[in-house]
Every structure is written in structure tokens, then in C-alpha cells.
């Protein structure tokens, strides 16, 4: 998980009273069953997108295993042309700032409390225009149509960011480097786009197939809103007996994943890992458990279709 470890998440997880937590959970359940998600499902059933074979193949794999991976160019043949130079700019700027930090200087790097090992392009409270390449990626119709079909509702684009994870010299896995379920939502889809080549030393994303809610392994420390979602690593390892998948792959690889299933990653020990990530979640999540990390800078969302506009409101 990431996003709800925003200020709100930290507050809810760390200092909220049991009563407050019950309130958050009750709000989530109400919006899931009745308020937000019912409407989102209705919108989807009235205007469901027609998928081509590539998109349908991704949705089928997500439904079976909870993840699907492919070169970005299989889905969006033209997008890499704009994204690769944007990624390189972020890498260059981040490495220059890291150098300044190491030399004892001031740096403007954005990190999040509790997950300081990741440098973020946006973190929280940013204004993004519709020309932002990473927002554009999350809003791409071919991406959004996959998310909405998989989730069976019009989803909300809740998080957009680019992460640079510098390698650590030594140490143990921390926070999302350990196996966990995201507590954000039971209707959740993330996309990770590798912007650097990721081998075993770069902290690949890892996933336990069929562990998302409704799948074969959902009984293992089951998903609950605001649940205790970090089981002891070794206990989980022994229960999944080698079934985890590790996504070592070249830059330009796209991974879709339902991260309410067990996952971990970013334990970079030999080289940095750079990726872009977007999160699609349900209206119930946005109402109760999560906060969007960006606001739309443009006045109005001209040129977007209704599902794209819905994703941004
Ligand atoms: O950095 C990674 O590979 C894991 C990220 C993660 O846990 C998340 O986005 O929920």
C-alpha cells in the first residue's frame, strides 16, 4: 500500500481510536454496498467499454491470477516515446539531488514518512495538468477501460507518481518491502511501469498469485478495511510454498496487479529501481480510506470522456 499512508492514513492507522476506525470501516462498507460503488457499477453496466484482444487478455489474467504483465508497447504502442525522456529527466534530477544530499547540502527530494527509502516525484498535494505524462498514462482510455472492466465499475484514479528507490547498503526489509495486502480497498488495481531495468538486486515487485479477495488464497490473513495487513514474513512464506512471482524485467514493462492480494517490493540492494505507478480504486475507497494524491490543475476536463472525468472527480 502507499497512498493511504498519507497524512490521513498515518493518522487513522497510528492515532485513531478504535471508535474512529470503526467509523471509517462503517463508512467504507456503506459506500461499497450502497452509496458510491452501486452508482459506479450502474455507470459501468450502462456504458461498458469494448475491449480488444490485448485488453481482454489482461483482464482475463487479472481475474485468474490477480496480475498481468506485458511490454507497455503491446498496450500503448506510442506512449513510450513521451514517457522515456520524461523518466530520464526524473532520474537525472533525482540523482543530482541525491548527490547534493550526500554532500551534506539541502535537497528538495520528496519522501513519505514511514517509507523514506523511496524518492517520489509527486508524493502528495500536487496539481497536475492534463498534459502531465504520468497523469496521461493513468487516464489513457486503454488503461482505464481495463481497470473498469476488471473492477466491474467506473473507478477512480486515486494516485499517480514516479518512484526512485536508491539501493541500500544493508538492513532489513521495511514497510512495503515486506509482504502485505494494501488496506486501501477490496476493489483495487495498480499499474507499475518499470522505468529502469529491474533484476533481483534492484528490488523487483513480487506478488502472490490468487491471493486477492475472492481468490484461492484469500483466506490467508484475509483483506479487511484498515486490517492488520502485514503478517510475519516467514509464516507467509511457509504458507505460500514458493508460489510468489518476482517481476524481474526490462524497462518499459507494465505490470497490472490487484494489490489487495499479497505483494512486496523495492528492496533495492545493488542498483536503483525506477517506476511509475497509478492506482485505480473504487468510490468507496475514496470516500473512506484514501485520499487522491493530486488535484487537476486545469480548469475543466475538456476532451475527456465521461469515464475519464468520473475517474478524476
Ligand atoms: O515497491 C514495490 O514494489 C511495492 C509497492 C507497494 O507495496 C504498493 O504500491 O502497494
* Ligand 1 pocket mutation pick from 1, 189, 229, 230 by most atoms within 8 angstroms of CB: 1
Query: What pLDDT band is residue 4 in, cutting at 50, 70 and 90?
Result: very low
Q: pTM for this structure? A: 0.93
**CA-176 nearest atom, ligand 1:** 7
Alpha carbons 29 and 286: distance in angstroms, whole number: 12
Question: Which positions ≥6 away from 112 have C-beta within 8 Å?
Answer: 2, 5, 6, 118, 120, 123, 124
Are the CB atoms for 190 and 256 separated by under 8 Å? yes
Are the CB atoms for 216 and 261 separated by under 8 Å? no
**CA-165 nearest atom, ligand 1:** 1
Ligand 1 site residues (CB inside 6 A) read: 1-2, 176, 182, 190, 205, 259, 263-266
Lowest-pLDDT range of 104-108, 141-145, 280-284: 104-108
Alpha carbons 189 and 185: distance in angstroms, whole number: 9
Q: Are strands 115-120 and 156-165 parallel, antiparallel or unpaired?
A: antiparallel
Beta strands in 156-232 (DSSP E): 156-165, 188-194, 206-207
Residue 264's beta-bridge partner residues? Answer: 206
Task: Supply φ then ψ for residue 279, to 5 degrees.
Answer: -125, 130
Residue 13: is its pLDDT beyond 60?
A: no
Are the CB atoms for 294 and 103 separated by under 8 Å? no
Alpha carbons 93 and 98: distance in angstroms, whole number: 9
Position 2 scores a pLDDT of: 42
* Ligand 1 pocket mutation pick from 165, 176, 230, 244 by most atoms within 8 angstroms of CB: 176
Distance 302 CA to ligand 1 centre (A): 32
Position 9 scores a pLDDT of: 55
Are the CB atoms for 147 and 51 separated by under 8 Å? no
Q: Span 279-286, mean pLDDT?
A: 95
Are the CB atoms for 201 and 271 separated by under 8 Å? yes
Q: Span 201-229, mean pLDDT?
A: 94
Task: Supply φ then ψ for residue 157, to 5 degrees.
Answer: -85, 110
Question: Which positions ≥6 away from 17 have C-beta within 8 Å?
Answer: none
* Ligand 1 pocket mutation pick from 189, 198, 264 by most atoms within 8 angstroms of CB: 264
Residue 178: is its pLDDT beyond 70?
A: yes
Q: How many residues belong to the chain?
A: 313
Per-residue pLDDT of 237-270, as tens digits, reads 999 989 999 999 999 999 999 999 999 999 999 9
Query: What pLDDT band is residue 3 in, cutting at 50, 70 and 90?
Result: very low
Alpha carbons 310 and 134: distance in angstroms, whole number: 18
Alpha carbons 186 and 285: distance in angstroms, whole number: 8
Alpha carbons 272 and 164: distance in angstroms, whole number: 7
Amino acid at each position: 500500500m502507499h497512498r493511504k499512508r498519507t497524512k490521513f492514513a498515518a493518522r487513522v492507522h497510528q492515532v485513531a481510536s478504535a471508535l474512529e476506525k470503526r467509523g471509517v470501516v462503517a463508512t467504507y462498507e456503506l459506500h461499497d454496498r450502497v452509496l458510491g460503488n452501486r452508482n459506479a457499477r450502474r455507470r459501468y453496466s450502462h456504458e461498458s467499454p469494448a475491449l480488444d484482444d490485448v485488453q481482454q487478455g489482461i483482464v482475463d489474467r487479472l481475474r485468474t491470477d490477480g496480475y498481468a504483465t506485458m511490454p507497455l508497447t503491446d498496450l500503448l504502442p506510442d506512449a513510450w516515446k513521451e514517457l522515456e525522456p520524461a523518466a530520464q529527466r526524473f532520474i537525472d534530477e533525482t540523482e543530482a539531488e541525491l548527490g547534493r544530499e550526500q554532500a551534506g547540502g539541502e535537497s528538495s527530494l520528496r519522501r513519505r514518512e514511514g517509507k523514506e527509502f523511496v524518492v517520489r516525484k509527486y508524493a502528495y498535494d500536487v496539481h497536475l495538468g492534463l498534459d502531465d505524462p504520468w497523469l496521461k498514462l493513468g487516464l489513457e482510455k486503454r488503461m482505464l477501460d481495463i481497470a473498469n472492466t476488471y473492477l466491474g465499475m467506473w473507478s477512480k484514479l486515486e494516485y499517480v507518481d514516479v518512484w526512485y528507490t536508491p539501493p541500500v547498503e544493508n538492513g532489513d526489509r521495511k514497510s512495503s518491502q515486506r509482504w502485505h495486502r494494501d488496506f486501501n480497498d477490496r476493489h483495487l488495481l495498480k499499474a507499475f511501469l518499470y522505468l529502469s531495468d529491474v533484476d533481483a538486486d534492484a528490488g523487483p515487485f513480487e506478488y502472490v498469485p490468487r491471493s486477492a479477495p475472492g481468490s484461492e488464497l484469500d483466506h490467508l490473513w484475509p483483506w479487511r478495511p484498515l486490517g492488520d495487513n502485514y503478517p510475519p514474513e516467514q509464516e507467509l512464506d511457509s504458507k505460500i510454498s514458493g508460489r510468489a512471482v518476482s517481476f524481474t524485467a526490462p524497462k518499459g514493462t507494465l505490470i497490472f496487479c490487484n494489490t489487495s492480494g499479497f505483494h512486496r517490493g523495492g528492496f533495492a540492494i545493488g542498483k536503483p529501481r525506477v517506476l511509475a505507478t497509478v492506482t485505480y480504486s473504487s468510490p468507496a475507497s475514496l470516500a473512506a480510506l484514501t485520499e487522491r494524491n493530486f488535484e487537476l490543475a486545469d480548469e475543466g476536463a475538456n476532451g475527456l470522456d465521461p469515464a475519464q472525468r468520473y475517474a478524476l472527480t
